[in-house]
A and B are shown apart, each in its own frame.
Chain A
Amino acid sequence: MTNSIILEDTDILASQIPDGAKIAIFKDCGVPMELGRALIRRKARNLHIVTVPTGGILIDLLIGAGCVKTIETAGISLGEFGPAPRFVDAIKQAKVQILDATCPAIYAGLQAGEKGIPFMPLRGLIGSDILANRPDIKTIDNPYAEDKDPVVVLPAITPDIAIFHVSIADREGNLYIARQSELKIMAHAARQTFVTAEQIVDYNILENEELAAASISSLYVSGVAEALRGAWPLNLPGHYEIDSGELEKYSRCATEDKTFQTYVRTRITDGYADATAA
């Protein structure tokens, strides 16, 4: 196998992601859980995580495992399973720097990155403490308005790396992304994209009209590894549902650092969780 875009396994993929990188991570329907666990195994450090646009268990895991220096996010939560305990703890102890945002502001920043332009305007935000605490976000006067019309301009977000999990990739590195169109914005704005796929297929995704309509070309992709149930314990539409039992277990373990570290040891570093079990 000489195609260098297809990597043997997720651990090798994770070794391609350097410490200190700015990494965009997708919020659901393709969260790269196995790749995230591989980052924890290789003791990644000082990451700047940009959640697209919010985050959950993976972000909480990365923060608790000491991988994160900066978290740029519109919100971190375990959803139905409650708050994200390691995130909350890290904020209270000032263990991470936080850049609070609002969802469309993160999309706007990525869209500016996607277009190669310095900023993207967005309505809203003015008068919020979100804006007041982001000196890196500026407000300008709408140059096309007759009267004064202040509008926020989001600086471009150009992640070093975008990571996510898809159902199908081909041997060229083309990706099928189904309904998750946000993944395109991420892959376009980021310098490199690393992806896990349930399955790597021998046919060319771009030569299939239906698949091509919801795809990302290998132009944007730096590395792909096959990872069965790579989004576990979260869902992958059309493949598997969220594993509520595991989320509940995590939400309990993560309330304290000691039980959290045990969870990481038994599920991630020393003993791999059997993600292929139903």
Chain B
Amino acid sequence: MKREELLIATIADMLGDAKHIAVGVLSPIPGSAALLARARSNGQTRLSIIGSQKEPYRTDGGVDLFDCAGQGRVDAFFLSGGQIDGEANINLTGIGAYPQQDVRWSGAFGSAYLYFMVPRVILFREKHSREVFVPRVDFISAPGTSPANIYRPGGPYALVTSLCVFLFDRNKKHFRLKSVHPGHTLEEVRDQTGFAFDYTEKVPTTSEPDKQTLDLIRGDIAKTIADPYPAFARKVWSIA
């Protein structure tokens, strides 16, 4: 079983009851997880995959998608960050004295809006290191939580990495370690995470996908995600 396949299945397990899932740019693993959730729902779950030209997933990620989220019609979305801190603030902008930053990333894209409007935002970052998971982000592209008087139906639900799964408590503004992936340890997670989080000494191991799920991932999902992520499909499953 490949690491990507574990991550795809783990994320899909969080999407079971979502009726409409949106997938942003540069997100092959969340995209695959969304496809898996759709397959499990017998095609009932709607997907909007930015960059896909295939009906029924196509969306140009334009005005319609943001309006849709504003109407409360997007149930789940994915975000990431060059930096993510313990209060789930995300930094997609850069590091240093803004605006002349030493490290400059692409930009906030739709995050400063979608993080507020989509009820279940799953943060996903494969690379799990102190460089990424900082005590406090240098620049808040999108805040993890908001004061009670700010209209905010959406926000972070979980953070999935190549090491583990965290769940986010919006009231406590704090992550809780839910499970550590097979082959990794609590120590590794604590070593590589720069923010404080809740955990118990006996952390469960992330469950591995069953054979049926793996077959689905390696079959239909792999073929479908090849548009719009051909390089990813080639790398993971050698699909041309």
Chain A interface residues (CB < 8 Å from chain B):
28-29, 54, 73-77, 79-80, 83-84, 87-88, 91-94, 97-98, 100-105, 107, 122-131, 133, 147-151, 179-182, 185, 237
Contact at A149–B110, with CB atoms within 8 Å? no
Contacting residue for A104 out of B66, B106, B139, CB 8 A: B66
For the complex, what is the distance from the CA of A3 to the CA of B9, rounded to whole Å?
A: 60
Judged by a CB distance under 8 angstroms, whether B70 is at the interface is yes
The size class of the interface chain B forms with chain A is 35 or more
Number of residue pairs A-B, CB distance < 8 angstroms? 130
Minimal beta-carbon separation of B115 from chain A (angstroms):
7
- Stretch of B97-105, B163-171, B201-209, B217-225 with 4 or more beta carbons under 8 angstroms from chain A: B97-105
Contacting pair B100 A133 (CB below 8 A): no
Complex contacts, A94 vs chain B, CB 8 Å: 99-100
Q: Identify the interface centre among A75, A84, A151: most chain B CB within 10 Å of its CB.
A: A75
Task: Name the A residues within 8 Å of B106 (CB-CB).
Answer: 75-77, 83-84
The docked-state distance in angstroms from the alpha carbon of A101 to that of B93 is: 10
**Measuring CB to CB, which residues of chain B are less than 8 angstroms from any residue of chain A?**
25-26, 53, 60-64, 66, 70, 92-94, 98-102, 104-117, 139-143, 146-147, 149-151, 229, 231
The closest CB in chain A to the CB of B58 belongs to A179
| Cβ contact within 8 Å between B117 and A54 | no
Contacts of B231 in A (CB 8 A): 80
Contact check, A104 vs B100: say whether CB atoms are below 8 A apart.
no
Residues of B within 8 A of A130 (CB): 93, 108, 112, 140-142
A74-B109, A76-B107, A179-B60 in contact; A92/B151 too (CB < 8 A)? no
Among A126, A148, A149, A180, chain B packs the most CB atoms within 10 A around the CB of A126
How far is B139's CA from A176's CA once the two chains are assembled, in angstroms?
Answer: 41
In the assembled complex, the CB of B136 is this many whole angstroms from the nearest CB of chain A, namely: 12
Cα(A101)–Cα(B100), bound, Å: 16
Between-chain CB contacts (< 8 Å), 20 pairs: A74-B109, A74-B110, A76-B106, A77-B25, A79-B25, A80-B231, A91-B94, A92-B101, A102-B110, A103-B109, A103-B110, A107-B62, A123-B116, A125-B113, A127-B140, A127-B150, A128-B108, A129-B93, A133-B99, A182-B63
What's the Cα separation between A179 and B26 when bound, in Å? 22
Closest 3 CB pairs of A and B: A75-B107, A102-B112, A124-B113
